[in-house]
Amino acid sequence: DAMVIQNPRYQVTQFGKPVTLSCSQTLNHNVMYWYQQKSSQAPKLLFHYYDKDFNNEADTPDNFQSRRPNTSFCFLDIRSPGLGDAAMYLCATSRVLSGGENEKLFFGSGTQLSVL
């Protein structure tokens, strides 16, 4: 089945140790998003790509970086994780400008990041 896959499912890192989360999609969607979600809170958009165009949210810390080497893959790099970065990280895709049901967001299962 076409889907959005995130790896790893759980990630434990040490304070200040760089970590990379990955996302792949087989839907051929043109937009990919990274969201951060903390317990009982709304998902918070960190950045998104429209094709290769990168769009950073104004309040996303510089500690967070992203790469999209091709349509199928997208990476989230946290350069120096702090305790406050412990959260669920969600990748999502969408085919915008296609209209109607095709513009639904499809999410991966998420990566739960713990910082020790």
Partner 1 sequence: KQEVTQIPAALSVPEGENLVLNCSFTDSAIYNLQWFRQDPGKGLTSLLLIQSSQREQTSGRLNASLDKSSGRSTLYIAASQPGDSATYLCAVRRLNDYKLSFGAGTTVTVRA
The token duo for 31 is 């937009």
Is 96 a residue that touches partner 1 (CB under 8 A)? yes
Q: Per CB under 8 A, does 52 bind partner 1?
A: no
The answer to whether 22 and 4 are in contact (CB under 8 A) is no
Name which of residues 16 to 35 contact partner 1 (CB under 8 A).
31, 33
Smallest distance, Å, CB 15 to partner 1?
23
State both tokens at 44: 């918070």
Q: How far is the CB of 36 from partner 1 (least distance, A)?
A: 11
What 3-state DSSP class applies to 101? helix
Structure tokens of 54? Answer: 């990168």
Two tokens, residue 113: 């990041």
- List residues binding partner 1 (CB under 8 A): 4, 6, 31, 33, 40-43, 45, 48, 50, 55, 88, 90, 92, 94, 96, 100-101, 103-110, 112
